Structure 1
Amino acid sequence: MEFSKMYFLGVGGIGMSALARYFVHEGKKVAGYDRTPSALTSALEREGVGMTYEDSVDTIPDEFKKPSDTMVVYTPALPSDHRQLNFFRSGGFEVVKRSQMLGVVSRGKYVMAVAGTHGKTTTTTMTAWFDHEAGGGGSAFLGGISKNFDSNLVLGPGDRLAVEADEFDRSFLQLRPDVAVVTAADADHLDIYGTHEAVREAFSDFIARIVPGGTLILRRGVDLAVRNEDLRVYRYAFDAPADFHAERVRVLDDGRHTFDLVCPDRVIRDCTLGIPGRINVENCIAAAAMLWVAGFDEEKLRGAMASFAGVRRRFDFYINTPRRIYMDDYAHHPDELRAAIGSVRGMFPGRRLTVVFQPHLYTRTRDFYREFASALSESDEVLLLPIYPAREEPIEGVCSDMLLPLISVPAQIVEKERLLEEVTRKNPELLVTFGAGDIDRFCEPIAERLSRLP
């Protein structure tokens, strides 16, 4: 690439930060804007990325104001009136979306893409770890921070590239996968797509971009149009009959699972996944299927499953003792929430489950408040935080209170400044915090408070 400098708008996002790190590694001068400081932006600054948190042309470093040597990458989550974005657009700069840049970077690679309205971050991270340990290496762009790699960017030998294929703004249509997993195609991002049918059509368009002779691994029960003429299609499931599934599933005392992995040509016996949760076993099966297609060492794959440490904010344990359990999870769609609560119930039967949930986006809350209430009703008690707006302006009449009358277990609204006090007062034996907003900033304080309770 002829540009010596890269400027990222929304650089603190998980996908954008991975690209920024990639270009730092490639020797480019990198800087960027994000709305608020975070642990991730602090890490980027330590790694050499110049940061600004004010949407002003004046805060753009002078060395990044020449279109001849600076390329600009932006997230579509930015508002259309963003001052820095409009400065670059009107100034003759080459300005591309994050998805377009990821498409460029992935050219010439053996692309292993994971798409789906939920489960894709964990499945992609498993694929990257399994490939690293049992597939000979490879690189990855991840949608979360891998605990094994301590990063959302993996740079390794070989041409294999694991990528999270994001359906937001149809970003995944920039990729040309050699092998792709689709975990789910539920109604989501209706502010972008309008209807569930449009979401499903976008996933079919993604499938159509798999290269001729490539492979699709589709979760059992996901019904999508497959228009490719030259494509191998496999199904996966947890323990139902499918090309890839688990048999002889046993739950260990700490919530982890041991199982036999059934593949089309073999059975890999006595696998133990390093993290707990039934849903994670299903994600593991999908990731292992990707390795089966690309090629792998069977014994090393078994070891990679056992050593997989998970993803931050995905079934992330802060306290796990016989007396008390506290974990945090990114679930922000009703189906994710229901699956996660079900997994927690299966891991810790008989425990009273208290859930803290922060709804994410006004539009998602408006579209799914009934479904959210139904999923939350599968817990024993619910604390609801106000909606995290992210990129959106408030919608009149849309608020967390909409869920309360529909939740069938004890539930209450809690303002963020009172959350620590209320959790301490509840003294829960099994607590899970859910949400894709800024609820994660409470995790350490909650854990610290709970660890001091008798």
Structure 2
Amino acid sequence: MNLNNIHNIYFIGIGGIGMSALARYFHANNKSVAGYDKTQTEITDGLVALGIAVHFEDSVDNIPAPFLNIEKTLVVYTPAIPKGHLELTYFNTNAYQVLKRSQALGLITEHTFCLAVAGTHGKTTTTSILGHLMNECHVPLTAFLGGISENYNSNLILNGTEVSVVEADEFDRSFLTLSPDMACVTSMDADHLDIYGTPSELKKSFEDFSKRLKSNGKLFVRNGLPLQGITYGIEDDSDYAIHNIKIENGTYVFDVKTPKTVLKGLQFNLPGRHNLLNALIALAMAIEYGCSYQQLTKALVSYKGVKRRFTYHIKTDNLVFIDDYAHHPEEINAVHQAVREMYPDKKVLAIFQPHLYSRTRDFIDDFAKSLSQFDELILLDIYPARELPIEGVTSAWLLNKINNENKQLINKEELLSAIHNSHAQIVLTIGAGDIGEQVKRIKKEFSIAG
């Protein structure tokens, strides 16, 4: 398919973080863009502000007339759209050109120098660091991010089309549509078993992804993963390794050993060893691309983060409120490590909303272990996303497995009073569902108290 011959791009699920980045990209490249989403959000409001038509009722009658032109219209949909969706069914039945989001991303990036970030954790932060580093080094790039960058207040960095920086998403094997020049794998922990069935199938998909590299491509792998490539790690013998870590005024200061030199006294402001690893691999890829050490050092310290990735909302002597997207046991462990490192003497309250019935079922014991680490715990009901309930899989089941005397299961209406009754100085909201929508309520309620 030649995108130059397409005038209209219609998105089904346009409010998704990856979908909306594509919508912004096509709009910026003078395509006519419109779409459907189930829910009005800040993201859809931002698209409407650009002049993109968005509606929220699944009805063929709502599709703008120009987008019914078969020859000039490309339809892009997210795999999260349920079967039986009326608009998607209409387009498929009437022989429109219909692509998954990942296929559209593959088309956009195939004629660029593509840097792809894969892994079950860390993709969004690593991609946004890499996009920021290379943008600050004046590389003519487009970066498609799976979150809202604090530096750019957007999920798209648009500064040229010669280079692309993308998340390579393992969900639904989407990353197998890419053919990158450089790629990294940050982690391969079991996840998305509703798609893969077994951890070995997930592992095989990462092996298949590593074979998608163009000839002479470079693969970067976190030290210890079962793939061959340029390695990176902390305090080890990796090709790229961080050494001599210190914390000064809440900022990491460290050295980086590269295959050719040692960079001393680098600074990075995001808490957590997992974020140090994210910064390291982004730095390694930018160095191998050809960015200068001096520019990269300056760019690294100016990186501000991604919304809902250890995002501070209140930071006073009496109260700290942090919001994070963590929705897998290993991600919760990483958040716990980060908050304990930054606040070793404070009591921590974690408010967690499980995401997906299948993920809760598949990792129930690991979730229980990771959540038991906090001083106090509040559980919300499971956020179903694309799934129907699974019998017996509930937040009450998870709560019973958690080894913590200060634990409770509540509904969202009880949340503010439950936080008031807590003795914690650090409050965390964690999860990938709609818990993020509670952040404004909590921030408003406790900003004065904090």
Normalising by structure 2, we get a TM-score of 0.97
Matched, 1:430 2:426: yes
Deviations 1:158-197 (A, max 9, x none): 6221100000000000101111110001110011000000
Mapped partners of 1:314, 1:239: distance in 2? 24
Conserved 8 A contact 2:372-2:402: yes
- Which residue of 249, 256, 264 corresponds with 1:253? 249
Instruction: Give the equivalent residue in structure 1 for 2:390.
Output: 395
Question: Bigger shift: 285-294 or 129-138?
Answer: 129-138
- Which residue of 77, 89, 112 corresponds with 1:86? 89
Matched, 1:150 2:153: yes
- Which residue of 441, 444, 453 corresponds with 2:437? 441
Matched, 1:287 2:267: no
Instruction: Give the equivalent residue in structure 2 for 1:315.
Output: 310
Q: Which runs of 5+ in 1 are unaligned?
A: 227-232
- Cα distance, 1:253 vs structure 2: 3.0
Q: Which runs of 5+ in 2 are unaligned?
A: none
- Which residue of 176, 180, 185 corresponds with 1:182? 185
- In the TM superposition, what are the counterparts of 1:398-409 in structure 2 within 5 Å? 398-409=393-404
SS in 2 for 1:301: helix
Conserved 8 A contact 1:135-1:295: no
Deviations 1:377-423 (A, max 9, x none): 11111100100111111111111111112211121111012212212
Mapped partners of 2:410, 2:243: distance in 1? 43
Mapped partners of 2:179, 2:215: distance in 1? 10
Q: How many residues align?
A: 446
Mapped partners of 2:139, 2:320: distance in 1? 37
Supply the RMSD in Å over aligned alpha carbons.
1.2
- Which residue of 372, 377, 380 corresponds with 1:385? 380
Instruction: Give the equivalent residue in structure 1 for 2:43.
Output: 40
Instruction: Give the equivalent residue in structure 2 for 1:171.
Output: 174
SS in 2 for 1:129: helix
- Which residue of 292, 296, 309 corresponds with 1:297? 292
Mapped partners of 1:8, 1:276: distance in 2? 36
Matched, 1:21 2:28: no
- Which residue of 120, 130, 133 corresponds with 2:133? 130
- In the TM superposition, what are the counterparts of 1:180-329 in structure 2 within 5 Å? 180-224=183-227, 226=228, 233-254=229-250, 256-329=251-324
Q: Percent identity?
A: 44
- Which residue of 317, 322, 330 corresponds with 2:325? 330
Paired amino acid for 1:292: I
Conserved 8 A contact 2:376-2:424: no
SS in 1 for 2:336: helix
SS in 2 for 1:370: helix
Conserved 8 A contact 2:142-2:159: yes
Mapped partners of 1:349, 1:56: distance in 2? 53
Matched, 1:116 2:111: no
- In the TM superposition, what are the counterparts of 1:340-355 in structure 2 within 5 Å? 340-355=335-350
Mapped partners of 1:61, 1:392: distance in 2? 30
- Which residue of 51, 76, 81 corresponds with 2:79? 76
- Cα distance, 1:240 vs structure 2: 2.4
Instruction: Give the equivalent residue in structure 1 for 2:408.
Output: 412
Instruction: Give the equivalent residue in structure 2 for 1:450.
Output: 446
